[in-house]
Chain A
Amino acid sequence: MSDAREPALRLKGIVKTFPGVRALDGVDFEVMPGEVHALLGENGAGKSTLMKVLAGMYQPNEGQIIIGGKPVQMTNPIEAKSQGVVLIHQELSLVPEMSAAENIYLGELPRKSFGRVDWKTLEERSNAILKRLKCRFRAEATVAQLSIANQQMVEIARALTVDARVVVFDEPTASLTDAEKVVLFDIINDLKSQGVGIVYISHRMDEIFTLSDRITVLRDGAYRGTLTTAETNEDEVTRLMIGRSLDLSRNEAAPNFGETMLEVRGLTCAGLFEDVSFTVRTGEIVGFYGLVGAGRTEIAETLFGLRTPTSGEIWVDGQKVEITSPRDAIALGVSLVPENRKEQGLVLQMNCRDNMTLPQVQDLTAGPFVAKGSEIAIFDQYRDKLAIKTPSWRQPTAVLSGGNQQKIVIGKWLSMQPRVLIVDEPTRGIDVGSKSEIHNLLRELAGQGYAVIVISSEMPEVLRVSDRIVAMYHGKIMREFTIDDVTEDSLVQAISGIAAAEPA
């Protein structure tokens, strides 16, 4: 380890402005060698901009970047890498058609004479790195054929091709399973013990408190303070981050369950899920908890008419129904807020109002024309009801924060007056502040008599919003809990397939 008192990286008074926006307003940040320094802030707080400055993708208007005691100027990512600063992106930036090895050394493939690629060296070196990362796949494998988690490993492997001084992890666990997370944390600790400075960006408090030595918080592009992890707690960090305390308590208002609104009997979709039966009453939230790939999203898509079941029955409000298309589902009052809001939920370049009224635009007419007045009335109503923050309905949804985008999608379906509302991963990639707002909103909706299904991979979320929890494993319902008899242990066992399904 080099001189321990000299920061591996120091950012001083970084200012970055875009036309009309001061994205970073004099931010200070430093990482010591062998330190894990967490960077926290809501979406739009300036974390990504700061990291892009660090990686040479943006030039700061003011401020200094000091690496190993020397001020440096970085004008592109390759320069940053040669200075030992490596960024591991949140969104995968691999070339799917190439092998893992080619991706790891992309842009700097080892060469033989006449510029030919030295495949042997390439594969030896890549396999050595993958071995260091305890990966079980070979460097010769094509990236497209690897799981998302393994692709993330390739991304990390890229960082290890140079003598990194500072490695930035931007939301690295977003697509990892728990087992894979353990491996990642090992790698981070390994890098740490080699004296590498780690910048760790995440929304997940538990990870930050497990891993980090210090925490720096940004809000609205400004530096809000640095805390020593051992001497602080989640509450203090959250307050710095959102400027107020977070209400994390469960809404304890006595639930008021009504009639069974949705009943599913022995629903099977070959290869995806099998013999699924459950009910949802009005005023009730049923949480579907399980690992990625347990078949929860597929059940939702079947109820919404996007998949055809091989057998089983669906009953809505006491009537047996056939749902063969989303239009059937919508007509029956079944709505789906999908898992991936950018790909499935929104037409990003379209404005907020048009996105919200999209499922009903052919009915919102005055003569042959779209009735813009009714459209704006609907938008205003749900903007107020859901507290959507946007300067005007004319904003393209692409520029909204994740939380507000999600609220647009929720508003879109609420405005259809659904009887059953299915929400798949309601807070994926959404910051803590908006997360709790969405949780409260879901509870309120149940209170107003909607029958709600919430699919989530996050245990705290399921525990916070659900009245009942259905635990799934490999396409089967393992167990059903009420919120009063559930424990974290039994839930984990059920979704790992450890506990046998209990007879109902």
Chain B
Amino acid sequence: MLLTRLKAGGPAIAKQGILIAFIVFMIVFALMSDRFLTTANIMSVFRQATIIGVIALGVTIVVIGGNLDLSVGSMLSFATVLVVDLHDKIGPELAIPVMVAATLCLGAINGFLIGILRLNSLIVTLGMLSAIQGLVLIYSGGQNVDIADQSGTWFAIFGRGAIFGIATPIIIFLGLALIFHVIMTTMPFGRRVHAVGGNPTASVFSGIPRSRIVFMTYLISALCVAVAAIILGSRVMGSQNNVGQGYELQVLAAVILGGTSLLGGSGSILRTVLGVLMLAFIQNGLILMGQPYYTQWLVTWAVIIIAVWLDVAAKRGRLFSPIA
């Protein structure tokens, strides 16, 4: 099975490029810092990666469906501010469902404009990025919010708690990843998302409700943001107005690193998980090596370029090609 896949796909190194690069990075960092490969460090990186990770799961599905979602960063700010602010006003048992519903409404706006009206997803979600940031500031009046009684609320379980010794955020992230992986690979919905992203015209000619499928992908993306907001709000017990700023690009980086094609139609949830972890460990490794945190931006960029290059090379069977 593996052998035939390698034969069909070109150079073996390119085919598993991301996995190999991941291992190389881990080895390098382990050699450079003796704190890197400790259980405490690994769990801590993992836990911090869950916010980007959960959002990246939803965005992977949007991208497989042939679209982009750049509004997730602002949406995260919105959802986190809302759930934290409402926590003290109406209690967590109401704050959570209200926030989830409001966030889903934002996803529905994306889904309506892109799925039903067929507007370009880049433009729509870029617009939503600023629009939602504005909405947050109007809602909060520019004030940051926080939860007064930080030790007495069960809301803390999502960000700070642990089950069987494993941090709750990690369980939520991996659980969601597993569910979405199963949906995308074994259920009719997943098949139809792949079809719509791979060839929207042929999908319509096959009787697939393209608009509805695209709409659904944006609802899923918004749902993931809402879950991430619960983890983030619970961990910080407060929120800045712009807490999610720039997340959309980190999320997209993880998705691309995981090998999901920006052209739509192909991609994998599990590989996105790998992309998320790789980004997180690179950032952590650089910090442990004493690099200022902004070096990670340069390194991340380089890693993405190499990953995309290897991916393309694997598809055409060699590293350079005069024709596409």
Contacts and interface: CB of A to CB of B under 8 A. Distances in A.
Interface of A: 19-20, 57, 76, 304, 306, 325-327, 329-330, 336, 338, 343-350, 354, 358-359, 361-362, 364-365, 368-370, 412
Given A358-B206, A359-B207, A347 B322 contact: no
Interface residues of B, number: 25
Interface in B51-92: none
Given A348-B198, A349-B266, 9 more contacts: A306-B204, A336-B205, A343-B202, A347-B194, A348-B199, A349-B198, A349-B265, A350-B195, A412-B206
Contacts of B198: 347-350
A326 B204 contact: yes
B187 A343 contact: no
10 contacts: A19-B317, A76-B322, A344-B205, A347-B202, A349-B198, A350-B195, A359-B206, A359-B207, A370-B187, A370-B191
Contact of B192 (A20, A344, A362): A362
A336 B199 CA distance: 17
Contact of B205 (A20, A345, A350, A354): A345
Interface in B171-223: 186-188, 191-192, 194-195, 198-199, 201-209
Contacts of A361: 188, 191-192
Contacts of B7: 19-20
B187 A368 contact: yes
A346 B202 contact: yes
Contacts of A325: 207
B163 interface: no
Interface of B: 7, 10, 186-188, 191-192, 194-195, 198-199, 201-209, 265-266, 317, 322-323
A364 B207 CA distance: 15
B194 A327 contact: no
Contacts of A349: 198, 265-266
B194 A350 contact: yes
Nearest to B323: A57
B14 to A, nearest CB: 13
A368 B183 CA distance: 9
Contact of A326 (B186, B195, B207): B207
A298 B188 CA distance: 30
A237 B198 CA distance: 39
A347 B195 contact: yes
Interface centre among B194, B195, B205, B265 (most CB of A within 10 A): B205
Closest 9 CB pairs of A and B: A347-B198, A362-B188, A326-B207, A347-B199, A358-B206, A359-B206, A330-B207, A344-B205, A361-B188
Nearest to B199: A347
A362 B258 CA distance: 28
Contacts of A19: 7, 10, 317
Nearest to A18: B317
B94 to A, nearest CB: 31
B206 A326 contact: yes
Nearest to B263: A349
Nearest to B266: A349
Given A57-B323, A349-B198, A370 B188 contact: yes
A358 B195 contact: yes
A188 B50 CA distance: 66
Contacts of A359: 206-208
B134 to A, nearest CB: 36
A370 B186 contact: yes
A344 B202 contact: yes
Nearest to A372: B186
Contacts of A330: 207
Most chain B beta-carbon contacts within 10 A, residue among A304, A359, A412 = A359
B199 A343 contact: yes
Contacts of A368: 187
A306 B322 CA distance: 40
Nearest to B195: A347
B185 to A, nearest CB: 9
A350 B191 CA distance: 10
Contacts of A57: 322-323
Contacts of B266: 349
A306 B203 CA distance: 12
A336 B206 CA distance: 9
Contact of B186 (A20, A345, A347, A369): A369
Contacts of B317: 19
